[in-house]
Amino acid sequence: MIVSNDNRLPPLNGLVLIGGRSLRMGSPKEKMRWHGKEQVYYLADMLGNYCDEVYISCRAEQLDEIAGDEDIAPAYAWLSDRYTDIGPMGGILTAFEFRPDRAWLVVACDLPLIDSEALAYLIQHRDPQRIATAFKNPQDSLPEPLFAIWESSSLPILQQMQAQHKLSPRRALIQHQALSIEAPHVNTLVNVNTPAEADSVKAMINNND
């Protein structure tokens, strides 16, 4: 099901985060093929059904490798982090400073079980009066900042936190009372950081096919 971005709300852009170094995995998580194509492009294509514009957030040094991928990479829009070594907050800040008039639907590349149903559900429950709308992680009931809609009102908050070296996006969601909602499926927020976790998720996907 395709859900259009409501014209009465601030415009919604999509952001795929691939800037992590995948040290525990041992290979780039954004290149894993969970659904027939590299995860970075799978997520970007899916976000394209719901967002006005979609960008892929990466480290500056990743752009050199991306430039060599002449078959696919030019079809996508890329944002190089303006902030180095501060984790996903750097990617989110870079996106907001690039287009501060937009809300951003942020998705991390290590969430292989995100699907169109979850995206549509998040958008349908969006509250633009809050700084963000996020799913609750079923493991600890805390909001998941890396599959969430961040409103433009969150930019000064994130900028202040970065200036104070407080680099946890989740902390921003908790302290500023973002809307937290239950995910449509218990496995929606399963993330993959190690080969063992990857094997477990592959088994989940194969069992559902």
Binding residues: 17-19, 29, 81, 110
- The partner residues of 149 in beta bridges, in order of sequence, read 105, 133
Rounded to the nearest angstrom, the gap between the alpha carbon of residue 126 and the centroid of all alpha carbons in its chain is 15
The candidate with the shortest Cα–Cα distance to 59, out of 37, 87, 93, 38, is 87
Q: Which amino acid is at 142?
A: L
The candidate with the shortest Cα–Cα distance to 22, out of 59, 53, 75, is 59
At 152, list the tokens. Answer: 């433009």
Binding residues for GTP: 17-19, 29, 81, 110
Would you say how long the chain is, in residues? 209
Distance CA 205, CA 14 (A): 24
Distance CA 155, CA 161 (A): 10
Which residues, including other chains, have CB under 8 Å from residue 183's CB and lie 6 or more apart? Answer: 118, 121, 135, 136, 138, 189
Distance CA 61, CA 46 (A): 25
Contact 24, 193 (CB under 8 A): yes
Binding residues for Mg(2+): 110
